[in-house]
Chain A
């Protein structure tokens, strides 16, 4: 999961094409596939070791005792396993793998992400054990094959007598049928016992007994490259995120959403990228992802995040603040420290439950946060599929609720740089929300962009469909944003109609479909993208996930 490396590859548009970047979007699924492959390989490896253990006892080599691992035929591997390095490391590795797999299931990740996060980092111990596993090895190899080739006969001189001890090394291959001319040894050769022939009928004598040693350790060859790359990336990210980002402002938006504005020296991000934020007062180890809503350049260097707040009345902090008898200000200061970010679902990106009891305290909290100069640590930016919006002629962006944030970044970029700054000719935006007030989050940006597109003689650049699923009150938009008001539809979007309309007006084009929303929505949209349509328009589906 080398996110910085992936972000660099994704950003190098000259080297990497659009199709290759689509492959990078599936990096998480590839990671899961690798995990499954590791489990299958571990199971097969263990199987092999079980049968090895059986063979070590049953096929004890009497002639060359140094080849064996067990001391006699009665001894089994069950005795040796806990007393050898490979045995102990092997068992420990399998147990760690079982722990990692058990916490990686979808159910555990949704219920308790921290458990999954911390147990997954046990892979570092797994790597170290894997390096130690082949040491003091079970596998043996012969070192002097030229002196003692397979099938040769060893002459052992027993005190001057002519008796010879016919000892052949294991294994003994069947002698090949002889087709040559030579049928007896050279005259100057020593007299040899009868029947001692090699595969060509020539006599082969050993120069010495076989010498065995443990097989060389080779696992490090496979592990060291990726491990070093991962370590380098983590060190780079640690150094990059070492300087804190100061909170420059907090703005409340309707429908329990807060915009957090941060400033960080030297921070540059492209539209569609995301960052991970760490709040050291809550946890020194945890980083949680947030999509940027404003692309950052050297002249702006600002980070803006939108996060939804949930009131959490059963938190321990709530009980603590309720029993506080200190001054009101102190209580607020204490609560503003405990900002906990939780990822509840992979599709809901910007979820940050604020551990407060009453929402009315929020405004005071924001003021407190700015005044007390609390800072957060920002690691990133990392790439996401939404960066590809500008690499299509026509793009269709579908957002569910707070999932508008990556597209807000895209819209802000277009507002700053102009609608003619990339090859994008037409942008469709479908935004589905429960309440009408949610549309007010970026209503200003949408109206400004539409006005700018008009001024740049591109009136059909931005096509907006706003869908309201719960409330029916549209008066708020009618007063302040009549442009958006005329684009509001009540009820869930009919994907087939939307896609037919987009295909009709853009025949024979490749359209990028970008989705940031709940799983149910993504299933329906993906199904339609894969279907053929009569206008020969191709829809390429991208889903935003961290």
Chain B
């Protein structure tokens, strides 16, 4: 089937299941027994929608972002490995879907979320991880190669780059252009 990004499919499936769970939970609050499960289902649905809303970056190629997802991207990225590791998401969705299976209106959302958790497991197995869009994850370059310049240059031009010049205190030396 070519190079498929499982995480993208799992993301779509999780969002749809969360919507179904949310709707089922709202229905379950009106006249059904075990209203606590319905209330839990509403809360879990909202949580999953917020968690899954920012789409992860594809390995290669352009990723179509969802509208206004950049605000949630920052929040999700700040959580670190918990949200970027798909094994954790697989376990999370598996645990979240179990209580919703005990009331009739929320069963369908629970089953959909179960399928989404399986697809997340496959994605994690293929080594995929959630990367934020628009945030540089490579980090600042190490400062070992670069010197931090705190003083203005002490030599008139021509002069070598800062990291080549010998280390000396910033005292102006007059009249000696051979000293680098």
Residues of A within 8 A of B (CB): 43, 46-47, 50-51, 53-54, 76-78, 81, 91, 94-95, 98-99, 101-103, 105-108, 110-112, 114-115, 118, 342
| B113 CB → nearest A CB, Å | 10
List the A side residues contacting B112 at CB < 8 Å.
95, 98
List the B side residues contacting A46 at CB < 8 Å.
108
Q: How far is the CA of A78 from the CA of B33 in the complex (A)?
A: 11
Contact A110 B9 (CB under 8 A): no
Contact A107 B55 (CB under 8 A): yes
Q: How far is the CA of A86 from the CA of B32 in the complex (A)?
A: 21
Contact A110 B64 (CB under 8 A): yes
Of B16-24, B77-85, B124-132, B172-180, the stretch lying at the interface with chain A is: B16-24
Give 10 A-B contacts (CB < 8 Å), ordered by A residue.
Answer: A47-B27, A77-B104, A98-B16, A98-B112, A98-B115, A102-B12, A102-B13, A108-B12, A114-B2, A115-B9
Contact of B13 among A53, A77, A94, A99 (CB under 8 A): A99
Contacts A95-B108, A98-B17, A115-B1 hold; do A108 and B27 have CB atoms under 8 A apart?
Answer: no
| B53 CB → nearest A CB, Å | 13
Contacts A50-B27, A98-B17, A102-B12 hold; do A76 and B115 have CB atoms under 8 A apart?
Answer: no
In the complex formed, the residue of A with least CB distance to B33 is A76
Residue B149 interfacial (CB < 8 Å): no
Q: How far is the CA of A112 from the CA of B32 in the complex (A)?
A: 41
List the B side residues contacting A50 at CB < 8 Å.
24, 27, 32, 104-105
- List B1-54 residues whose CB lies under 8 Å from chain A: 1-5, 8-9, 12-13, 15-17, 20, 23-24, 27, 31-33
Contact of A98 among B3, B20, B23 (CB under 8 A): B20
Q: How far is the CA of A110 from the CA of B58 in the complex (A)?
A: 12
| A107 CB → nearest B CB, Å | 5
Q: How far is the CA of A76 from the CA of B103 in the complex (A)?
A: 10
Contact B61 A111 (CB under 8 A): yes
Q: How many A-B residue pairs have CB under 8 A?
A: 77
List the B side residues contacting A107 at CB < 8 Å.
8, 12, 55, 63-64
| A56 CB → nearest B CB, Å | 11
Contact B64 A102 (CB under 8 A): no
List the B side residues contacting A94 at CB < 8 Å.
20, 108
List the B side residues contacting A112 at CB < 8 Å.
1-5, 8-9
Residue B111 interfacial (CB < 8 Å): yes
Contact of A95 among B24, B58, B105, B111 (CB under 8 A): B111
Q: How far is the CA of A255 from the CA of B12 in the complex (A)?
A: 37
Contact A101 B9 (CB under 8 A): no
In the complex formed, the residue of A with least CB distance to B119 is A102
Q: How far is the CA of A54 from the CA of B29 in the complex (A)?
A: 13
Contact B104 A78 (CB under 8 A): yes
| B55 CB → nearest A CB, Å | 7
List the A side residues contacting B103 at CB < 8 Å.
78
| A316 CB → nearest B CB, Å | 9
Contacts A106-B64, A111-B58 hold; do A95 and B104 have CB atoms under 8 A apart?
Answer: no
List the A side residues contacting B115 at CB < 8 Å.
95, 98-99
| A79 CB → nearest B CB, Å | 10
Contacts A102-B13, A112-B4 hold; do A43 and B23 have CB atoms under 8 A apart?
Answer: yes
Contact of B9 among A54, A103, A342 (CB under 8 A): A103
Q: Which 10 A-B pairs have the closest CB atoms?
A: A102-B12, A102-B13, A107-B64, A50-B105, A98-B112, A112-B4, A114-B1, A78-B104, A94-B108, A102-B16
List the B side residues contacting A118 at CB < 8 Å.
1
| A136 CB → nearest B CB, Å | 19
In the complex formed, the residue of B with least CB distance to A119 is B9
Q: How far is the CA of A102 from the CA of B8 in the complex (A)?
A: 10
Q: How far is the CA of A525 from the CA of B128 in the complex (A)?
A: 40
In the complex formed, the residue of B with least CB distance to A101 is B16
Contact B9 A102 (CB under 8 A): yes
